């Protein structure tokens, strides 16, 4: 009888669960309790935009051995039933009296010995997607079992992408590549930035995105001030630099990279800034190797920018990528995460051209034994100019 499963063959999920269980054993965890869209998708294949509704919590319990157990609202039973896991327990959510707490506590108590430890991701870049009040009630209901830090167990497994995952991210990157290639069709002098954002999202959908979870960008004379604001109604003008950044999603996997365009002829300082970003990215592509730490890659990028005469600007200089728009680690001077073969990362150097004027540049890579392999199509060395 063929196994049901969504997005990937069941084998892919079994490998993931087995890897999680190895890390759990190292961390002396008797179960993992997972609550976020990415962790639930990662272990089960359960993919839905329904997470957009904050109304209901969803739980997956990974025991020390054996398949995961889903403890979920009844409205998800049909879709979870098409995934590979067979033990699916449901309640009618939202329930103001007991919103799954009893069912989850029973499940944990049956899977974990009384002296056991239940890991949850609780470290940097994590959160628990359930009400705090219910979490406190749950702790009482599972005592003497204790909640423990399961961040490392989850991060060390999820951060290494399988070839199947890398192909999904590559496909999302190709969609963004195709949409970026169409930007000169709709981003002209006089077109409001809000219109450009709209047309760019349409292009991403037409090129194959299932949905567009993230579009940001900016436009300003000789650089932009900010990379996270929604679009405004200001029309593009000659002398602007337009930046578009996207996290388009295909089969649950994100890309995350940006592209810059000069509107009309680019000023010399803008061209130099772009060349410096290009060179810094090139330095990372040439020198990054498995075994380096996140902070080492930050240094490669930052030193290359300085060598080019630029002032490092923007935020971190890159990060992990995959099931969410950004994943750990962060390319900062403080992050000591080891960069290993199979990690998918963004390289995202940024420079400050002048106060309030920055330029950022981003590529997506997978780290191979011999160094980085690009997943995004390399940006042109010279800043493209939209002349019409």
Among residue numbers 247 through 266, which ones bind a second copy (CB under 8 A)? 247
| Interactions with a second copy, residue window 302-321 (CB under 8 A) | 314-316, 319
Greatest Cα pair distance in the chain:
71
Q: Considering the complex, state which of residue 214 and residue 235 has its C-beta at the smaller distance from a second copy.
A: 214
Contact residues for 232 (Cβ-Cβ < 8 A; gap 6+):
192, 193, 194
Among 22, 28, 110, 206, binds a second copy (CB under 8 A): 206
Q: Is 230 exposed, middle or buried (0-12, 13-18, 19+ CB in 10 A)?
A: exposed
- Cβ atoms of 140 and 104 within 8 Å: the answer is no
Residues 90, 72: contact at Cβ < 8 Å?
yes
Residues 6 or more apart whose CB falls under 8 angstroms from that of 239 comprise 221, 222, 263, 264, 267
Of the residues 28, 53, 110, 237, which one makes contact with a second copy according to CB under 8 A: 53
Place of tokens 């962060």: 330
Instruction: Establish if 336 lies at the interface with a second copy (CB under 8 A).
Output: yes
SS3 208: coil
Burial label for 245, CB within 10 Å (0-12, 13-18, 19+), is buried
- Fill in the DSSP letter of residue 347: E
Q: How far is the CB of 352 from a second copy (least distance, A)?
A: 12
Q: Residue from 2, 127, 163, 233 that binds a second copy (CB under 8 A)?
A: 127
Q: Which of 74, 181, 238, 387 binds a second copy (CB under 8 A)?
A: 74
Would you count residue 106 as binding a second copy (CB under 8 A)? Answer: no
Q: Looking at 78, 140, 163, 233, which residue binds a second copy (CB under 8 A)?
A: 78
* Member of 1, 97, 114, 369 binding a second copy (CB under 8 A): 97
The answer to the question of residue 214 lying near a second copy (CB under 8 A) is yes
Between 151 and 272, CB nearer to a second copy: 151
Least distance from C-beta 279 to a second copy, angstroms? 24
- Smallest distance, Å, CB 11 to a second copy? 21
* Residue with Cβ nearer a second copy (97 or 369): 97
Residue pair 243/218 in contact by the 8 Å Cβ criterion: yes
State the nearest-atom distance from the C-beta of 39 to a second copy, in Å.
11
């Amino acid at each position: 009888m063929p196994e049901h499963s969504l997005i990937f063959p069941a084998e892919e999920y079994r490998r993931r669960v087995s890897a999680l269980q190895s890390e759990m054993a190292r961390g002396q965890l008797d179960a993992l309790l997972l609550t976020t869209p990415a962790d639930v998708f990662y272990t089960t294949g359960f993919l839905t935009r329904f997470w957009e509704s904050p109304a209901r919590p969803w739980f997956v319990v990974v025991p020390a051995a054996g398949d995961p157990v889903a403890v979920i609202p009844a409205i998800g039973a049909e879709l979870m039933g098409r995934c590979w896991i067979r033990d699916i327990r449901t309640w009618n959510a939202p329930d103001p009296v007991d919103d799954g707490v009893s069912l989850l506590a029973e499940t944990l108590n049956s899977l974990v010995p009384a002296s056991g430890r239940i890991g949850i991701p609780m470290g940097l870049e994590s959160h628990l997607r359930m009400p705090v009040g219910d979490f406190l009630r749950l702790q009482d209901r599972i005592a003497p079992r204790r909640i423990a830090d399961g961040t490392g167990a989850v991060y060390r497994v999820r951060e290494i992408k399988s070839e199947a995952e890398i192909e999904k991210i590559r496909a999302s990157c190709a969609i963004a590549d195709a949409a970026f290639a169409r930007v000169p069709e709709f981003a002209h002098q006089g077109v409001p930035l809000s219109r450009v954002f709209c047309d760019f999202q349409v292009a991403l959908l037409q090129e194959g995105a299932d949905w567009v979870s993230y579009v940001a960008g900016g436009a300003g004379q000789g650089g932009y001030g900010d990379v996270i604001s929604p679009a405004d109604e200001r029309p593009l003008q000659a002398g602007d630099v337009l930046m578009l950044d996207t996290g388009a999603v295909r089969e649950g996997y994100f890309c995350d990279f940006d592209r810059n365009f000069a509107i009309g002829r680019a000023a010399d300082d803008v061209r130099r800034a772009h060349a410096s970003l290009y060179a810094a990215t090139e330095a990372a592509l040439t020198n990054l190797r498995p075994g380096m730490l996140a902070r080492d890659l930050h240094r490669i990028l930052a030193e290359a920018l300085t060598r080019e005469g630029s002032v490092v600007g923007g935020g971190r200089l890159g990060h992990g990528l995959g099931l969410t728009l950004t994943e750990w680690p962060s390319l900062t001077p403080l992050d000591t995460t080891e960069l290993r073969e199979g990690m998918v990362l963004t390289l995202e150097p940024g420079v400050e051209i002048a106060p309030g004027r920055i330029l950022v540049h981003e590529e997506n890579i997978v780290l191979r034994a011999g160094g980085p392999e690009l997943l995004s199509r390399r940006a042109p060395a010279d800043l493209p100019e939209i002349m019409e």
